[in-house]
Structure 1
Amino acid sequence: MSSDIPTIDFSGFLNGDPKTRLEVSKSIVEAFRTYGFVSLTHHPVPLAEVSQAFEWTKLFFDLPADSKALAPHPPGFLHHRGYSHPGREKVSNLTRGTDTESSLSQTRQIPDIKESYEIGSENYPDQPNIWIPQDILPGFQEFMTKFYWTLAEFSKEIAKALALGIGLENEDYFEPFFTGHHNQLRLLHYPEIDAKILEEGRGVRVSAHCDWGTFTLLFQDDCGGLEIESPTNPGEFIKVDPVENACLVNIGDLMARWSNDYLRSTSHRVGLPPLQDRYTSTGGKRTTRARYSIPYFVTTTPESVIECLPPFTDEAHPAKYPPITQWDYSKSKSSMQYS
């Protein structure tokens, strides 16, 4: 089954009159209420720049393993930058303080078969970037730094649309919370793999999880495989087909907490590609297609206190969650992803 996540023309918000901007904003919010996801076309990120980002991503992951290892993700979870080899990170819905170490150990028995590279702001001293040496891939650092800030500007427009769509006093309400320096650009490669490993449950591409920031921008290739939890049948996952030239945007846990779950943080995963594109065959061995995607995780300053916004709480609808800082919530989640 495929989902019918709404596809919305974002140019109406970027270039429209106040009435049109409000209409687009409310449509986006309604998609987030129902699915937690929306697909935005005619967004402000140049399509040529998106294509270049995928070209650079493939060039990086095509490097020999010893070259990629020159930009290693540090041990532990506090410094979330650099390269992680397949199986290094395990994504899940586990939370420190709620779930046990035995739950973590059990979850990690089935690895995520993906490799990733994490990039942040060059002006975030607590999370310095770990770049591959320039002579190995000249131009990579320069392009990715520029692309990071292109997506930061796009994210600020989405934050304005959210403020309008949920009825806050002005569209710049979220501006003090989002400096752009605390977001994360992730390059992802799901390598070709023996199909039996996935079919028999000995590995997955990405386990079911919710993002734990405020919202995420996602660019993906045409391979397919993304699935989201059904809004009407919990536990059932439905496929999300890629939309050409669109950016998929989804709500994360912090924005759900801010809105008292008025906006939905939806569990999602990456499974097998669609049947017709699922395998290549070599010598009788069935191999899944490689897949590339580029998520951009948007979040607030670490000291920001996330507590229920006024439109979403009253005597009949008390706040579901206690106030928490972005940093404390992030630690509770990220500490369960890296052993």
Structure 2
Amino acid sequence: MDSTTQTTIPVVDFAKWSLSGSARQRVAQNIVDACKKVGFVYIVNHSLPEQLLDEAFDWSRRFFDLPQDEKLKAPHPEGWAVHRGYSWPGLEKVSQAISQDSDQKRAEQLREVPDVKESYDIGSENNPTQPNQWIPEESLPDFRAFMTQFYWECFRVGGEILQALAIGLDLDDNHLLLKHSGNNNQLRLLHYPPIPAEALESHRAARCPAHTDWSSITLLFQDDCGGLEVEDVNRPGSFVPATPIKNAIVMNVGDLLQRWSNDHLRSTSHRVTLPPLSDRFEGEQRVTRRRFSIPYFLAPDPDSMIECIPSCMGADEPAKYEPITQAGYNQMRASMQY
């Protein structure tokens, strides 16, 4: 790739995934090529219905519009071990630090610049180690039922993408999917409240600092506000906008899939900052619009061993990483976040 060329995020049309033979293979290869070069890809014409996505954003707005005392009826539990429920602005601090190379002082330094966002995390009802924290039914009737349905619909589509990745890596189509029962995934509703642009520009506050995801892959749905940026693989430390495309899935490789693939696939750093267009601000203080996004993280089951995929190693290319379970990797990352 020409180092003078700014990175662009590829767009892959998923419409022909339902076919067989060469058409299906091309879809798979296009996704893997994007994951090798950039680590991010827009997936359009996927099988998640547009109406369902619109409903999901409507429910998210309704949840975050609830009074604070209602949202706090489902608080994120203390500590890092359970990652469910409502996180109020300032509770979470996203970073690349892991517990093995950090200490309490480092954690306190990270928190000097708060992340101005709130979130609500949902998982499978079949995961006893990560119990959901639901608000009472009367606080937002049918919210729980919809989000449970949406969780499994996202997994269905994510499973198709995992199959495509496997085929593009010369594996059996279920090689990756077999380690993902769906019960260890995470559906996250995110709300970035309005904030003066100057607070972000002066680094007194952040929306979501640069980081990579811990998962196998992430499916992201975003509104039209903008603000998501992806590190330019040709210019490390620089970022390019992931401009919203209506109904597209922004799919990215997570750390575990990068380890699995022996760095063949990129887990690329990304962040949420100011929207790129001046009309996203209001008033003399240039206050940002609210931003909503919905990431869905596909993770292997906790006892799954993450070790190098055979097609990604050889006599001249040994495995770069020691095997590790999903639970072991998750512990290293999560203990620094809360």
The superposition leaves residues 204-226 of structure 1 with CA deviations (integer Å, 9 ceiling, x where unpaired) of 10000000110000000000000
**Alpha-carbon distance in structure 2 between the residues aligned to 1:267 and 1:12:** 30
Residue matched to 2:329: 329
Instruction: Specify the alignment match of 1:164 in structure 2.
Output: 167
Matching residue of 2:301: 301
Once the two structures are TM-superposed, the CA of residue 337 in structure 1 deviates from its matched residue by 0.3
Per the TM alignment, residue 172 of structure 1 is displaced from its structure 2 partner at its CA by: 1.2
User: Is 2:16–2:24's contact at 8 Å kept on the other side of the alignment?
Assistant: yes
| Aligned sequence identity (%) | 50
Rate the CA distance shift 1:285–1:236 in 2: closer, same or farther, 3 A: closer
Which consecutive unaligned segments of at least 5 residues does structure 2 have? Answer: none
Cα distance in structure 2, aligned partners of 1:28 and 1:156: 14
Partner of residue 137 from structure 2, selected from 105, 109, 134: 134
Q: 1:34 aligns with which of 19, 32, 37?
A: 37
Q: How far apart in 2 are the matches of 1:277 and 1:102?
A: 40
- CA offsets, 1:123-164, max 9 Å, x none? 111111000100010010000000000001111101110110
Q: Deviations over 1:24-48 (max 9, x none)?
A: 1000000000110110111111110
Give the AA of the match of 1:5.
I
> Contact 1:3/1:239 (CA < 8 Å) preserved in 2?
no
CA contact (8 A) 2:73 2:135 kept: yes
Q: How far off is 1:82 after superposition?
A: 0.2
Is 1:217–1:295's contact at 8 Å kept on the other side of the alignment? Answer: yes
- Other structure's SS at 1:40 match: strand
Distance in 2 between residues matched to 1:91 and 1:175, nearest whole Å = 28
Indicate the residue corresponding to 1:217 in structure 2. Answer: 219
Q: CA deviation at 1:285?
A: 3.4
Letter paired with 1:224: G
Structure 1: which 5+ residue stretches go unaligned? Answer: none
Q: Which residue of 1 aligns with 2:274?
A: 272
Mapped to 1, the partners of 2:7 and 2:194 lie a distance apart of: 25
Corresponding residue SS for 2:139: coil
Determine if contact 2:207/2:272 at 8 Å carries over to the other structure: yes
Take 2:20 and 2:214, find their aligned partners in 1: how far apart are those partners?
A: 33
In structure 2, give the amino acid aligned to 1:26: Q
User: Equivalent of 1:234, from 229, 232, 236?
Assistant: 236
Give the secondary-structure state (helix, strand or coil) at the position aligned to 2:154: helix
Q: Given the alignment of the two structures, is residue 44 of structure 1 paired with residue 47 of structure 2, yes or no?
A: yes
Query: Contact 1:114/1:189 (CA < 8 Å) preserved in 2?
Result: yes
Q: Aligned equivalents of 2:282 and 2:326: distance in 1? A: 43
Q: Superposed, which structure 2 residues align to 1:1-339 within 5 Å?
A: 3-13=7-17, 15-168=18-171, 170-281=172-283, 284-338=284-338
Alpha-carbon RMSD across the aligned residues, in angstroms, is: 1.2
Secondary structure (helix, strand or coil) at the match of 2:62 reads helix
Query: Secondary structure of the equivalent of 2:149?
Result: helix
Q: CA deviation at 1:286?
A: 2.5
- Equivalent position SS for 2:200: helix
211-220 vs 239-248, which deviates more?
239-248
Alpha-carbon contact 1:3-1:240 (below 8 Å) kept: no
Return the offset for 1:174. 1.8
User: Secondary structure in 2 aligned to 1:55?
Assistant: helix
User: Could you say what secondary structure the match of 2:286 adopts?
Assistant: strand
Q: For the Cα contact (< 8 Å) 1:223–1:277, is it kept in 2?
A: no
Distance 1:87 1:9 in 2: 38
Paired residue type of 1:187: L
Answer whether contact 1:301 1:326 (CA < 8 A) is retained: yes
C-alpha change, 1:2 and 1:294, in structure 2 (3 Å) is farther
Q: Does structure 1 conserve the Cα–Cα contact (< 8 Å) formed by 2:7 and 2:234? A: no
Under a length normalisation based on structure 2, what TM-score does the superposition of the two structures give? Answer: 0.97
Paired AA for residue 97 in structure 1: Q
Asked whether the 8 Å contact 1:183–1:298 carries over to 2, the reply is: yes
Is the contact between residue 218 and residue 295 of structure 2 (CA under 8 Å) also seen in structure 1?
Answer: yes
Q: Distance in 1 between matches of 2:279 and 2:214?
A: 31
Q: How many Å apart are 1:117 and its aligned residue?
A: 0.1
* TM-score (ref. length: structure 1): 0.96
Are residues 2 and 138 of structure 1, via their aligned partners in 2, closer, same or farther at CA, if it must alter by over 3 Å? Answer: farther
